[in-house]
């Protein structure tokens, strides 16, 4: 199984609404992945099943959308992925050996989404 390498994507506006269904369509079109996922499509996710990389359903935890022609991490998508990892919406079934890597990937995303507290 495979945790997607952290991409350090540009961050979308924090107020941007998250529509995972629409984002999946946007990413598929942007990546020119109409028939099967490719590396660009997978990079919008946190994890994919490396044993079945040709299946769109093997890509999990979509955290990005295409905005003005470029792939951007959407803060609400990052938070939703974290909530799913914590068991929200039934959680997600990942191989035990990949969970730590997924958490590390999401932690790096959170560090961009959540600004540090002001000095005081």
Report which of residues 86 and 116 the model is more confident about: 86
Q: Over 70: is that where the pLDDT of 89 sits? A: no
Average pLDDT score over the chain: 91
Q: Is 46 exposed, middle or buried (0-12, 13-18, 19+ CB in 10 A)?
A: buried
Q: Scan for tokens 């951007």, then name that residue.
A: 72
For the segment 72-83, the average pLDDT, to the nearest whole number, is 95
For the segment 66-72, the average pLDDT, to the nearest whole number, is 97
pLDDT band at 88 (very low <50, low <70, confident <90, very high): low
> What are the residue boundaries of the structural domains of the chain, listed by start?
2-113
Report which of residues 114 and 111 the model is more confident about: 111
pTM over 0.85: yes
Give the helix ranges, DSSP H, for the chain. 20-30, 39-42, 75-85, 96-113
Q: What is the pLDDT of residues 10-59, one digit of tens each?
A: 999 999 999 999 999 999 999 999 899 999 999 999 999 999 989 999 99
């Amino acid at each position: 199984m495979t945790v997607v390498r952290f991409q350090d994507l540009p961050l979308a506006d924090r107020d941007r609404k998250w529509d995972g269904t629409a984002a999946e369509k946007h990413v598929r079109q942007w990546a020119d992945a109409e028939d099967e996922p490719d590396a660009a499509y997978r990079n919008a996710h946190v994890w994919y099943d490396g044993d079945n990389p040709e299946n769109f359903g093997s890509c999990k935890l979509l955290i990005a959308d295409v905005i003005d022609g470029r792939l951007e991490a959407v803060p609400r998508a990052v938070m939703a992925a974290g909530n799913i990892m914590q068991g929200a919406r039934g959680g997600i079934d990942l191989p035990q050996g990949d969970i730590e890597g997924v958490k590390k990937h999401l932690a790096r995303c959170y560090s961009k989404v959540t600004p540090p507290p002001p000095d005081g």
